[in-house]
Every structure is written in structure tokens, then in C-alpha cells.
Chain A
Amino acid sequence: EISKQVEPPQPSAAMKALRSARFLNDLAGIEYPNAVASPNPALNKNAPADRKFKYNKEFLLQFQNVFKEKPSLDWDVKIRDTIGDGGDTSARPGSAR
């Protein structure tokens, strides 16, 4: 049986981190953990100073299993309102705990 929510939902740690994190402004200065491949530096070499970064697919795919948190607390309601029955969120992966 599904238990009823008695308290207003609180943002998870990952959700809070997403909200409060700063945007990186120097990609080259980041030391990623050993298992993570850095973005292809050729994509951002000689870039105009005012543009942000390009990212190769291989770099981006590494986030897939690392950040799984819903973007907002009202996500499920939002999905119901916009996508409706087309959005089967029952198969959604759990949080990254």
C-alpha cells in the first residue's frame, strides 16, 4: 500500500545542489575523477571569449547515470499537465541514493 504524504515534500540534496551550484567558467581548470573523461579540448580551443562551452557526446553521456534527480519538486504535476498519459513516469529511475 502506498503511504500518504503527510509533510510537504522537501528538495533532495541533489536538487539543492543543482540550484545553488555556480556555472563553471573555466573548463580547463577542472580535475575530473580518474574514471571520467574530460571534454574534448579541441572543441573549446580558440573559442571567442564570450561564449560558453561545446561538449562532445562522449563527455555528456557520462552524466546519464550520475544525475537522475527530477529538476523540480512539482515535476510530476508538470509532466501530468503537459505530457499527460503519454508520460509514463512509473518506470522512472530512483534518485541517486
Chain B
Amino acid sequence: TNDSANDENTAPSTSTATASNGQNVTVFHDPENFNVKHPLQNQWTLWFTKPPTGRGDNWNDLLKEVVTFDSVEEFWGVYNNIAAASQLAHKSDYHLFKRGVRPEWEDSQNKHGGKWSYQFKDKKGIDIDELWLHAQLAAIGETLEEDNDNEVMGVVINVRKAFFRIGLWTRTVGKAKAGDGAGKEALMKIGQRFKETMKLGPNEQVEFSGHTDSAHAGSTRAKAKFIV
């Protein structure tokens, strides 16, 4: 009844590779032969907005999906092989959003949402590549929100002639989910963490505005709904 007792006919184990012993080999142990990777809580898609050519571009042709990934290792494979934000032409954007959410107001999942954002006007006085990297790490590392907040949709960097702007898009504008005010509290906390990620001091203000307000404001800037 005990077949496993007869192990003389099983293939001999060579046990040359650590992997065959069922051990976890991470990229830190062996960058070319790792057998485990670090999962992200969400799958993330990197998008790129090309600068308009000025010849009647269609927005949909300018916004391109670059790649989707779901591990820490692959994030770095992407990051290490793509142009740094500081190298992009003016009017370019990178968007790093949860998979399945288009980085546009028009996406139904963004309809009731808004964004925290900050404009860096002193382009030479900051390390924008580091700030954008840290914004992305906070997003994929899921350290911006609590487990049940379900607010973070993605992060975005706008490269412009006069400034860099980094934004964090949220699902709601802080409306309480159960009428108890927890919605706004969660949103403010997310804004505060985003501000710390951006290394901003107490005298600098990160502003929140709803997408609908921004859309209706036209060329003038939407009035900030919240500030941290």
C-alpha cells in the first residue's frame, strides 16, 4: 500500500541548482536565475501622452498604453529602460494607472473622482526624476492609502515648458461612503502622504480638485476644493 517507500526507481536528484531544492531564490540572490518575484497588490499600466504636433491631433492618438506589469522586478525593468521624465519633450505626460482605468476624466471610473496635484515651477531647483520615481513607488508599493480606502487610481507627471506637475488621481472627491465623513478624512490623509512623498515643506500647498470642476473651468484653473 505504500508506493512511496519504494524510491529506488525515482529519478536521482541532481540537486545542483538551489531551485530544485524548493528554495526561494530572489533577484537579490541571483539576478539571472531567480525563481520567485515580488507581487504587486495591483497590476499597473504605464501610459504616455505624446506632445501634440499642432496639426489637429486626435487625443486618442496621442495617449498610448506602453506596458502593464505586476511585479516589483518588472517595474524596474520598465523604469530602467524608458526615458526619464526630465528627458521628455514639453507637453509629454507619463501616467501610471491601475490596470483597466484609462487616465482620462472620461473613464467611467474617474467620473466622480479628482486629483491631488502640485506644480513644481522651479524646474532647475528640484530632482524631478527622483520625485516622479518616488510617486510611482508609493503607488505600486501601496503606501498612499489604507487597505479599504480604494481611492488611488494612478499618478501622473505633466512635463511643461514652465513647470513639472505631479498628480495623484482618486476615485472620489471625498464624499462619505456611508454618510459618516470617513471619505473626506481618508482623502486628506492620502493628500498628506502624497505631499510627504513629494518632499514638500509646510509652506507649500498641495491642492485637490474634482475632475468635473476642472473640466468645467476651461482654461482657467479650477478652484482647489481641499488643501494639505
* Chain B residues closer than 8 Å to A96, beta-carbon distance: 31-32
Roughly how many angstroms separate A16 CA and B34 CA in the complex, as a whole number? 9
Task: Check if A88 sits within 8 Å of B141, measured CB to CB.
Answer: no
* Chain A residues closer than 8 Å to B83, beta-carbon distance: 83, 86-89
* Residue of chain A at shortest CB distance from B67: A71
Roughly how many angstroms separate A39 CA and B171 CA in the complex, as a whole number? 28
Task: Check if B81 sits within 8 Å of A75, measured CB to CB.
Answer: yes
Task: Check if A24 sits within 8 Å of B36, measured CB to CB.
Answer: yes
A-contact bits for B15-54, CB 8 A (1 contact / 0 none): 0000000001011110111111111110000001011000
> Size of chain A's interface in residues, with CB distance under 8 A?
54
When A21-B35, A71-B67 are in contact, do A63 and B138 touch as well, CB less than 8 Å?
Answer: no
Task: Check if A70 sits within 8 Å of B141, measured CB to CB.
Answer: no
Minimum C-beta distance from B60 to chain A (A) = 13
When A18-B71, A18-B74, A83-B66 are in contact, do A56 and B143 touch as well, CB less than 8 Å?
Answer: yes
Task: Check if A18 sits within 8 Å of B37, measured CB to CB.
Answer: yes
* Chain A residues closer than 8 Å to B29, beta-carbon distance: 33
Query: B5 in the interface, Cβ–Cβ < 8 Å?
Result: no
Minimum C-beta distance from B31 to chain A (A) = 5
Minimum C-beta distance from B89 to chain A (A) = 5
Task: Check if A70 sits within 8 Å of B147, measured CB to CB.
Answer: no
Query: B107 in the interface, Cβ–Cβ < 8 Å?
Result: no
Interface of chain A, main secondary structure:
loop
* Chain B residues closer than 8 Å to A85, beta-carbon distance: 89
Query: B137 in the interface, Cβ–Cβ < 8 Å?
Result: yes
Query: B65 in the interface, Cβ–Cβ < 8 Å?
Result: yes
* Chain B residues closer than 8 Å to A53, beta-carbon distance: 38-39, 41
When A18-B37, A47-B147 are in contact, do A86 and B141 touch as well, CB less than 8 Å?
Answer: no
Task: Check if B72 sits within 8 Å of A60, measured CB to CB.
Answer: yes
When A47-B147, A83-B48 are in contact, do A92 and B39 touch as well, CB less than 8 Å?
Answer: no
* Residue of chain B at shortest CB distance from A58: B137
* Chain A residues closer than 8 Å to B75, beta-carbon distance: 60, 63
When A23-B36, A32-B26, A60-B141 are in contact, do A82 and B41 touch as well, CB less than 8 Å?
Answer: no
Minimum C-beta distance from A58 to chain B (A) = 10
Roughly how many angstroms separate A71 CA and B50 CA in the complex, as a whole number? 22
Task: Check if A21 sits within 8 Å of B36, measured CB to CB.
Answer: yes
* Residue of chain B at shortest CB distance from A60: B137
Task: Check if A67 sits within 8 Å of B137, measured CB to CB.
Answer: no
* Chain B residues closer than 8 Å to A51, beta-carbon distance: 41, 147
With beta carbons under 8 angstroms apart, the residue of A22, A55, A83 that contacts B35 is A22
Roughly how many angstroms separate A88 CA and B138 CA in the complex, as a whole number? 25
> Hey, which bits of chain B sit against chain A, CB under 8 A?
24, 26-29, 31-41, 48, 50-51, 64-67, 69, 71-83, 87-89, 92, 134, 137-138, 140-143, 147
Q: What are 13 A-B residue pairs whose CB atoms fall within 8 Å in the complex? A: A21-B36, A23-B39, A36-B28, A51-B147, A52-B40, A54-B41, A64-B79, A68-B81, A71-B69, A78-B66, A85-B89, A89-B81, A91-B87
